[in-house]
Amino acid sequence: MSTSSNLVRIVEVGPRDGLQNEKAVISPSVKVELINRLGHAGLKSIEAGSFVSPKWVPQMAGTSEVLAHMEKIPGVHYPVLVPNQKGLEALFSLSDSSSPSSSSSKLPTDEIAIFTAATDEFSRANTNCSVAESLARLRPVAAVAIAHGLRVRGYVSVVITCPYSGKVDPRKVREVTKELIDMGCYEVSLGDTNGTGTPSTVRRMIEEVASAVPVSKLAGHFHDTYGMAIANVMTALSLGVRTIDSSIGGLGGCPYSPGATGNVATEDVLHAIQAPDSGYEAEGDMNALVDIGFWISEQLGRDNVSRAGKAYRAARLRMERENVKERSNL
């Protein structure tokens, strides 16, 4: 792969953000297989789970078991979502490490993700606290994690519209993103949780945030509720964003955003980026990812919503039929 500035990093969120909003609850062993398959398909950053209460998000139960049994492929990051200090302690309990000087190499992952929102209404529905209170809770979490040698990634939800309060002021997104960067996040993912974004609103939001935060520290996280996710991905790339979150097979959504559909599918993002004339590059084996998307969708008893995945599979099946017909005529 080229190391040019047009290399796009894909953060695969299916095993966490995807699964957490699926009705079906799958076993830790299936999650392990999903993560392993994604790693062998060439993805370099794969969300492995979340230390949230299984009482509220039962789909994330078993994260400790997943981290213990999944394959750790060299060069691949396996971030886990840590909502608060209790979640961080749960991660540390998986290691003998107990002092801030300890190396993260003793932990089952080298990265955590923390999250907040751009509106108080969404934050209260999600974590029962305001945005300011959320940020105050996250500062010591980030500080301790960094002291232990962990990378910290931030998420900001509802950067375009909020399901409870409507249109979101881009200036608020800028302020919250800056707070996360200041507390040590190496990158902040900007989430169009409702999927209401369009190229114009996404452009306006990113330009506002980039007035205070280097665009190299921003990532795009788009949901496909209105079919705009790929257009929004390409808009973000045109503004200099080089990290895109996506979910295999278009899994998931957000349990606190009624009506929001799944994340943009990894297969769709890769198809757009790997197109010969796109001007961008990204790592990932499309054929392998198409197979994974259909496999995990079957495990969940749901339809695969990746448009590219369906098209690639249909083309493959058509070619196989033609080959069989050609051999039968010999």
Q: Which residues contact 108 (CB under 8 A, 6 or more apart)?
A: 67, 68, 72, 78, 91, 94, 95
One-letter amino acid for residue 153 of the chain: R
Q: In whole angstroms, give the CA distance from residue 278 to residue 247.
A: 21
Tokens of 130: 């305001």
Nearest-angstrom CA–CA distance, 70 and 57: 21
Distance of alpha carbon 222 from alpha carbon 244, whole angstroms: 8
Contact 229, 264 (CB under 8 A): yes
Active-site residue flag, 162: no
Return the closest-CA partner of residue 177 out of 135, 236, 221, 143.
135
Q: Which of 129, 162, 185, 254 is catalytic?
A: 254
Q: From the centroid of its chain, how far is CA 255?
A: 15
Lookup result for tokens 């495990």: 299
Q: Which of 267, 262, 233 is nearest to 248 (CA)?
A: 267
What is the set of active-site residues? 254
